[in-house]
Amino acid sequence: GAVVSQHPSWVICKSGTSVKIECRSLDFQATTMFWYRQFPKQSLMLMATSNEGSKATYEQGVEKDKFLINHASLTLSTLTVTSAHPEDSSFYICSARGAAGDAQETQYFGPGTRLLVL
């Protein structure tokens, strides 16, 4: 299957700092990328959907000014957690999907980034 990478895999930071997480589709062009958040023993929660070159669509309750998403190219999306606080500590997972009709229409997940805000 297609490969989605995420970097970094672990982040520990101080409260008030901003953290950037990168998501790359390595062997296909991701027309749509998704950012999820997962708390321990809970389901994946979709935060936002982004299409290359356009603004992200945020799910209800997700602050767009706090979670900045940039989908600058067909292989790269970034999530920046601005002014992180301890309650932002979570497992952040990106996911990428190719164009409709492609084999890559399947949605593949990156390995996730664990964020711990002290």
Partner 1 sequence: EDKVVQSPLSLVVHEGDTVTLNCSYEVTNFRSLLWYKQEKKAPTFLFMLTSSGIEKKSGRLSSILDKKELSSILNITATQTGDSAIYLCALFGGGSNYKLTFGKGTLLTVNP
Token duo for residue 68: 């900045």
- Using CB under 8 A as the binding rule, whether residue 5 contacts partner 1 is answered as no
What distance lies between CA 97 and its chain's CA centroid? Answer: 13
- Closest distance between partner 1 and the C-beta of residue 16, in Å? 27
- Terminal alpha carbon distance of the chain: 36
Rounded to an integer, what distance in angstroms lies between the CA atom of residue 92 and that of residue 39? 9
Choose which of 11, 19, 110, 115 interacts with partner 1 (CB under 8 A): 110
Give whichever of 19 and 35 is closer to partner 1, judged by the CB atom.
35
Choose which of 8, 106, 116, 118 interacts with partner 1 (CB under 8 A): 106
- Using CB under 8 A as the binding rule, whether residue 32 contacts partner 1 is answered as yes
- CA geometry: angle at 3 spanning 116 and 11, to 5°? 10
Choose which of 13, 44, 62, 76 interacts with partner 1 (CB under 8 A): 44
- What is the three-class DSSP state of 97? strand
Give whichever of 81 and 93 is closer to partner 1, judged by the CB atom.
93
Rounded to an integer, what distance in angstroms lies between the CA atom of residue 76 and that of residue 90? 21
Interface residues toward partner 1, by CB under 8 A:
1, 6, 32, 34, 43-44, 46, 49, 91, 93, 95, 97, 100, 105-112
